[in-house]
Amino acid sequence: MAKLNQIIAIEKGVKNTSFAELTEAHHQLQKPTLLSGISRTYRPKDEEGEQLPPESTRVQVRAEEIIRSTSENLQRLFDVTATKEWANCEAKGDVVVDGTVLLKGVPATYLLFLEKQLVDMHTFVKKLPILDASETWVYDASSDSFATEPVQTVKTRKIPRNHVKAEATEHHPAQVEVYYEDVSVGNWRTVKYSGALPAKRVNDLLERVEKLQTAVKFAREDANNLEVTDQKVGAKVFQYLFG
């Protein structure tokens, strides 16, 4: 008795073959010359007249034969697909993570859906923003985000100063040079905030997604190991259509 995973493995090949044969049948039926035949004989008016050989063209394609062969070819596809879908109604698997059953008796088709969705979830988690590792962050409940320790920096202002290069004399004024001195006028207290996540949190989430991905794959393989009952529905369908 075949298993569901074997039926799934051959379904695509059967589908491609059936489609190719159906396409070929369609093309043959669109060629009037293949469907047409003729038979001509010549008889002169009298015995002395010219004798000409008979002419004939045989019918190469018969619509009923095409219908019959096409029906036979498609029956295999209908039966294989029916066998798969009937089995999918019964094929189920448990999703087990770290020894615990997370989801029990999940249909194979839903497991396939889960598998595809988890690929997108893995991409989503992998691209989550991570806190700058060069800073020290702590969670701040008041802002519902992460914050750094306060950093204090000095605010300065340039104050002009006079530097006397030469004192005034009876004949010359004093030579004074103006320069600017940075003078502290206050302090900045800076706290940085971020809505990103710690690297450990992102790595933990990635590990969870990957564990679930593995569990779903195992569950699907287990579900697809179900022994199937061959369904024979194609003959009934085509008997009704063309019988």
Query: What is the rounded CA–CA span in Å between residue 236 and residue 233?
Result: 5
Query: What is the rounded CA–CA span in Å between residue 165 and residue 139?
Result: 57
Q: Is the pLDDT of residue 32 over 90?
A: no
Longest dimension (CA), the chain: 160
| DSSP symbols for the chain | --BHHHHHHHHHHHHHHHHHHHHHHHHHHT-HHHH--EEE----SSTTSPP---EEE-----HHHHHHHHHHHHHHHHHHHHHHHHHHTT-EEEEEETTEEEEEEEEHHHHHHHHHHHHHHHHHHHTS-B--TTS-EEEETTTTEEEEPPEEEEEEEEEEEEEEEE---SSS--EEEEEEEEEEEEEEEE--EE--B-HHHHHHHHHHHHHHHHHHHHHHHHHTT-B------HHHHHHHHH-
Q: What is the mean pLDDT of the chain?
A: 91
Torsion angle, alpha carbons of 205, 210, 213, 214, to 10: -140
Name the residue ranges covered by the structural domains of the chain. 1-91+228-243, 150-190
Q: Is the pLDDT of residue 211 over 90?
A: yes
Determine phi and psi for 145, rounding to 5 degrees: -155, 180
Mean pLDDT on 108-131:
96
Q: Is the pLDDT of residue 118 over 80?
A: yes
pLDDT at 104: 96
Q: Is the pLDDT of residue 238 over 80?
A: yes
pLDDT tens digit string along 48-103? 888 889 989 888 888 889 999 999 989 999 999 999 999 999 999 999 999 999 99
Mean pLDDT on 163-185:
81
Q: Is the pLDDT of residue 161 over 90?
A: no
CB distance 230 to 79 below 8 Å: yes
